Structure 1
Amino acid sequence: MTKLERSQIDFSTFMLYRLAEHWGKSVPDTYRILDKANAIDGYLVPCYDMLHTLGSEYLVNDLTDYVREQGICI
C-alpha cells in the first residue's frame, strides 16, 4: 500500500466517523449510506487531493449534499 492510499483510507475513515456523529447514526449505517451513494470510491478518494485541505465542517455539509443529490435519504 502506498503512502497516498493510506492517506486516502485515513481521510475516508475520518469523514465516516464525522458524518456518523453529525447524522446521529452508527458508523456501519453511515458506511452503508456512503456506499450506496458511491461517495467513498466515487468522490472522497478521487477528489482526495483537494478535499483533504478543506475543513471538516465544510466536508460534512458537502458530503451530506452529495448523498442527498444521489437521491438517498439520510
Structure 2
Amino acid sequence: MDNETLKFVTYCISKLAQVLKMSQREVYRRLKQSGILYDYIVPSYDVLHTFSSRYLIEDITDYMKEKGVLPK
C-alpha cells in the first residue's frame, strides 16, 4: 500500500468512527474482518478518493450494512 492510499484509509476510518460514534480501532476491526478494507477500499482507492466525503462515507456505510457489519 502506498503512502497516498494509507492516508486515504486512515481518513476513511477516522471519518467513519466519527459518523458511527465508534472508536477508530473498532471501525478498523470491522472493516478488516469483513474484508471491506482490503477487498474494497484499498483496491478501489483510485475511484473512491474522487468522491465527496459525504458520498464516500455513505457508500462505505451502506456496504458495511450489506455485509452485516452494521445493523440495517
- TM-score, reference length from structure 1: 0.88
In 2, distance between residues paired with 1:10 and 1:60? Answer: 15
User: Runs (4+) of structure 1 moved beyond 6 Å?
Assistant: none
5+ residue gaps in structure 2?
none
Q: Percent identity?
A: 35
How many residues are matched? Answer: 71
2:4 aligned with 1:7, yes or no? yes
RMSD across aligned C-alpha pairs, in angstroms? 1.3
- TM-score, reference length from structure 2: 0.90
Per the alignment, residue 43 of structure 1 pairs with: 40
Relative contact order, higher structure (CA 8 A, sep 6+): 1
5+ residue gaps in structure 1?
none
In 2, distance between residues paired with 1:36 and 1:65? Answer: 16
Q: CA deviation at 1:73?
A: 2.4
In 2, distance between residues paired with 1:48 and 1:72? Answer: 21
